[in-house]
Amino acid sequence: MMNQETEGKEQATVNNNASIACTWLSDSNCRDKGCKLHGSLACRWDAGEYSFLMGVVQIPPALIMTFTLVLVGVATGNWWGMAIFAWLVIIWPLGLETLVLCRHCPFFTDNGKTLTCWALRYWPKWWKYSPRPLQGWEKFVVTYLLFGLPYVWPVGWAGYGIYHITANYSEFGLVALLGMIGACFATIVSGVQFFLILWAKACNRCVNFSCPFNEVPKQRVDAYLALNPVMKAAWIDSGYEFGNSQREKQE
């Protein structure tokens, strides 16, 4: 009787979510099942990959865009661009991204109350894990609100800064104009760099398969889903078909 009570208490303290995705099972699970997907998928936590994606992919563009918007604010006296950009950055990781994107990812199923993933590590899990793929409205939000707008917005405001300095050239002069043009150019380049590296190094290996930017070949998606019954069932219920599909034909 005592052993049964002890076992019950131990089971009660375990977050069963951790067993939903093989991403958070021990390495022995990979060996036992003969799975070699980790070589082609970023299906397990890797601190080195996290450091690369933060230090090389995400932080530099964010700093450059912030600098550009501050420069526009100082030059024009108009801080609306910076204020709206700050608002976008706040709603991005503090709820919106985790709602429409992160909660569908296998990395969302670990034991902790905060995320352990490539992008938003340490951020609170505001929502309950959902194994189904993203719906149409979620993909729209990811494409245009989470990634499109925050990168187009600073470029537009840099253009406004160039216009303002040109219209008041006698007050600012050539150095200020060239500086604003340089900031605009750096913002564009940093945004392009962000997406190119993301697509080349992350999107083709990411296990959040239904993200609109995901480029993992369908046969790998099928192989991963086959090892994760909860996720597989949710995807089938959402209309996903194993084997040949329109996505595979397009590839």
Give the chain's mean pLDDT.
85
Q: What is the pLDDT of residue 158?
A: 95
Residues 6+ apart with CB under 8 A from 188: 155
For 91-118, how does the pLDDT look when each residue is reduced to its tens digit (9 = 90+)? 776 678 889 999 999 999 988 888 888 8
Kindly state the average pLDDT of the residues 162-175: 95
Q: If we measure between CA atoms, which residue out of 238, 12, 21, 233 comes closest to residue 108?
A: 21
pLDDT at 33 over 80: yes
Write the CA distances from 79 to 109, 144, 188, 195, integer angstroms.
40, 23, 20, 27
Q: What is the pLDDT of residue 248?
A: 45
For 41-68, how does the pLDDT look when each residue is reduced to its tens digit (9 = 90+)? 999 888 888 888 888 888 899 899 999 9
Kindly state the average pLDDT of the residues 209-227: 95
Q: Do residues 121 and 50 touch, judged by C-beta distance below 8 A?
A: yes
Q: What is the pLDDT of residue 87?
A: 81
pLDDT at 76 over 90: yes
Predicted structure pTM score: 0.82
Residues 146-183 as b or e (16 or more Cβ within 10 Å = b): bbeebbebbbebbebbbebbeeeeeebeeebbeebbeb
